[in-house]
Chains A and B, each alone.
Chain A
Amino acid sequence: MAGGRFSLDLARPSRQHWLGYILLAPAVLLIAAIIVYPLIVSVDLSFQNVGIARLDQPRRPFTTANYERLFTSPDFWNACWVTLKLIVVVTSACFILGLGTALLVNNRFKGRSVARLLVAMPWAVPEVIAVVIFAWIFDSSFGLMNWVFLSLGLIDKTINWFSDPDAAFAVVATTMIWKGYPFVSIMSLAGLQSIPEDYYAAARVDGASALQRLRYITLPCLMPVIGVTTVLVMLWIFRDFSIIYVLTGGGPLKATQTLSIMTYEQAFSFFRMGYASAIGVVTLVICVIAAKLTMRRAPDNL
């Protein structure tokens, strides 16, 4: 053998799994460095009373004050409530739009590939650009939305989208839906294409109507995809920062302040890094629980 006795023969049956570990090692080390280490640091910080975190400073004494303050703070519960509202509204809208468009462009028609491209387009637009577009659409003086509503006669004076709490929440939700539904659409389309044509043929011979085919074949067959996609969309909403920050900065009156915005604000506006870390840790725990619950339900259906 060319490598002589120093070469490592990975083809040996007893060493089959070595190659896997070797290939995985760089990624594992990288993840440990950029995710696990900061995670440990922030858990550690959340139990200290720290203003600006500096690694060269000695540890402050252990305290649970950050958590006590957090759970009694109305701002925290407000942020939880806003996050929950956003998750429910955006996830369900993304699914209705995403599944709907996927079912549409899964049909055979002229210009299908163009339609698929258009459906997927918002996904390719960088978040900040999407936000700028929507900020313009909802601008209170030159915005498209006010003009449309005025022209249709739905309103008689312009709405100031960013100073009314409900309107601001609606704007944030709309932007997130626009940005998020293509992902659901792409995933569902991939799922739809993996359903064998024969299932539908068999169901048609069995006398199932289009609605029954959707209910009894398409949706159950998509269940695994839907489960994974729900988790990913939910996590995206949990951690998304740029859309809300650029559009409203969390306001007005904290109406759009999610957990991630609150974390940022505490850490970098008020420089309460210990407190911010506590919010981050709680968010992480919520995310893990939510993901577990969603993932456990989905595959059971298949």
Chain B
Amino acid sequence: MARIVIDQVRKSYGALHVLKDFSLDIADGEFVVLVGPSGCGKSTMLKILAGLEEASGGTIRIGGRDVTDLAPGDRDIAMVFQNYALYPHLTVAANMGFGLKMRGTPADVITRRVQEAARILDVEHLLERRPRQLSGGQRQRVALGRAIVREPAAFLMDEPLSNLDAKLRVHMRAEIGALHQRLGVTTIYVTHDQIEAMTMANRIVIMKDGEIQQIADPETMFERPANLFVAGFIGSPGMNFLSARAQGGTTRLFGEAVPVPPGADGDVTIGLRPEHIEAGPGAVTFMARPSLVESLGSEKYIYFEAPDDNRPPGFLKQSEEDQRGSRLIARLVNAGPVRIGENVTLSFDPARLHVFDPATGKAIR
């Protein structure tokens, strides 16, 4: 178990800067999730931590020891790979004991530790099988087992759940969480799935283009996003964005005067989460004409056009699936019947608004 300090780590492939001054201080026993869109450098950071890639600059300390130029095997870390990297020619038991064997651990100790890990992960009955005779979830468990028998100072996991189907992923998510609770080993977990990040992390690190956007616990990430990118990345469905002009602490949204923080002046981008829009009148009330209604049973997603004055800025297309253009989404719980084309009364609390500077993307508070 160890504290991990990453200090100003940089990485470039020729002219391509994949990581820019990455600094992160991870407490002993913490579960940190690196999250960000594809190609933002998450795996690269993890490989540098593991010693599989060389950093172009910066230092890494694990448990007070400078490991920046240490071989992967000497760093006392274990890694779980996206496609498990189980050796097909070895049995499950041999796979799990491989790291210990390479370190010259006596055979009886290896057997005991493998048994113990197998019991924790509930794979005891699979020990004599080959990896190809296992299901996806079982392989995942064995890959975790291979990491925990080593009893390392830290676990590094690179999208370990992305090869599983949705249901199994939710299950394994909980299982990894429980494992972390039980073992208390410092864990760095990479994913591009914000739900995984929100549910598992003690702290989330959001990255984009090799730069850290925000480091915070899941709650703060959701409630106080530092910039437009974070605001759009966290939450599902994503935050609604509107453009407006602020003056003297007020702006106009849906034709109503709405208070904004005093720092906001001139053009601003306003963020409003779908779940913060409610059915019926409230602090700020407006009428909307739904162009699409999706009912998920307990809740409804209502799509409606933003008013002309508040057309959302075009550049805000955060994620691929989020191609809603100028449409806004309201997520209503226990709303009455809502029909396409029939006006509904909606409202929101102005305290829930997020205000951003459209030029820099930074939050204005």
Which residues of chain A have a CB within 8 Å of any CB of chain B?
Answer: 196, 198-199, 201-209, 212, 216-217, 220-221, 223, 301-302
Q: In the bound complex, what is the Cα–Cα distance between A128 and B71 (angstroms)?
A: 51
A195 to chain B, nearest CB (A): 10
CB-CB under 8 A for A207 and B79, given A201-B85, A212-B102: no
**Chain B residues near A221 (CB, 8 Å)?**
87-89
A contact residues around B85 at 8 Å (CB): 196, 198-199, 201-202
Given contacts A196-B83, A198-B83, A208-B73, contact A203 B89 (CB under 8 A): no
Q: Identify 13 residue pairs between A and B in the complex whose beta-carbon atoms are under 8 Å apart, listed by A's number.
A: A198-B83, A201-B52, A201-B72, A202-B81, A204-B73, A205-B50, A205-B77, A206-B146, A207-B102, A216-B98, A216-B102, A221-B88, A221-B89
Asked if A205 contacts B72 (CB within 8 A), the reply is yes
Q: Report if A207-B73 is in contact (Cβ < 8 Å); known contacts: A220-B89, A221-B89.
A: yes
Indicate if the CB atoms of B88 and A207 lie closer than 8 Å.
no
Besides A204-B51, A302-B89, 10 new A-B residue pairs in contact (Cβ under 8 A), listed by A number: A198-B82, A199-B85, A201-B79, A202-B85, A205-B52, A205-B77, A205-B99, A207-B74, A209-B102, A216-B102
How far apart are the CA atoms of A125 and B335 in the complex, in Å? 80
A198 to B86 CA separation, bound complex (whole angstroms):
9
Chain B interface residues toward A at CB < 8 A: 47, 50-52, 71-74, 77-79, 81-83, 85, 87-90, 98-99, 102-103, 146, 150
- The distance in angstroms between the C-alpha atoms of A199 and B50, with both chains bound, is 14
Contact A204 B72 (CB under 8 A): yes
User: How distant is A216 from chain B, measured CB to nearest CB, in Å?
Assistant: 7
- Please tell me if the beta carbons of B87 and A217 are within 8 angstroms of each other in the complex: yes
Q: Is the CB of A203 within 8 A of B83?
A: no
Q: Return chain A residues, CB-CB under 8 Å to B73.
A: 204-208
A208 to B97, CA, bound (A): 12
Nearest-neighbor residue (CB-CB) of B88 within chain A = A302
Which residues on the B side are within 8 Å of A199 (C-beta)? 85, 87
Q: In the assembled complex, how far is the CB of residue B340 from the closest CB belonging to chain A, in whole angstroms?
A: 44
Residue in chain B with minimal CB distance to A301: B89
Asked whether B83 lies within 8 Å of A204 as measured between CB atoms, the reply is no
The minimal Cβ–Cβ distance linking A172 to chain B, given in whole angstroms, is: 37
* Bound form: Cα–Cα A220–B102 in Å: 16
The prevalent SS among residues of A at the interface is helix
Please give me the residue from chain A that is nearest to B98 by CB atom. Answer: A206
Q: Chain A's nearest CB lies how many Å from the CB of B153?
A: 13
Nearest-neighbour CB distance to chain B for A250, whole angstroms, equals 43
Q: Which 9 A-B pairs have the closest CB atoms?
A: A207-B73, A206-B99, A198-B85, A202-B85, A220-B89, A204-B72, A208-B102, A205-B72, A205-B79
Cα of A88 to Cα of B217 in the assembled complex, Å: 66
* A212 CA / B102 CA spacing, docked (Å): 8
Given known pairs A208-B73, A216-B98, the reply for A201 and B81 (CB within 8 Å) is yes
Bound form: Cα–Cα A201–B49 in Å: 13
CB distance from B130 to the nearest CB of A (A): 9
Residues of A within 8 A of B78 (CB): 205-206
- A202 to B79, alpha carbons, bound, how many Å? 7
Q: How far apart sit A216 and B79, CA to CA, in the bound complex (Å)? A: 19
Residues of B within 8 Å of A206, CB to CB, are: 73, 78, 98-99, 102, 146, 150
Residue ID in chain A nearest B130 by CB atoms: A302
A221 to B73, CA, bound (A): 22
CA distance A302 to B74 in the complex (A): 29
Q: How far is the CB of B154 from chain A (nearest CB, A)?
A: 11
Contact A223 B89 (CB under 8 A): yes
Q: How far is the CB of A206 from chain B (nearest CB, A)?
A: 4
Closest CB in chain B relative to A270 CB, distance in Å: 51
Q: Are A203 and B98 neighbours in the complex by a CB distance under 8 Å?
A: yes
Are B72 and A207 within 8 A (Cβ)? yes
The interface residues of chain B lying within 8 Å CB-to-CB of A198 are 81-83, 85
- Docked pose: A202 CA to B86 CA in angstroms: 8
B89-A204 in contact (CB<8A): no
Docked Cα-Cα span, A205 to B50, in Å, equals 7
* Minimal Cβ-Cβ distance residue in B for A199: B85
Chain B residue nearest to A213 in the complex (CB): B102
Residues on A with beta carbons closer than 8 Å to the beta carbon of B98: 203, 206, 208, 216
A301–B91 Cα distance when bound, in Å, is 11
Q: Give the residues in chain A near B81, CB-CB below 8 Å.
A: 198, 201-202
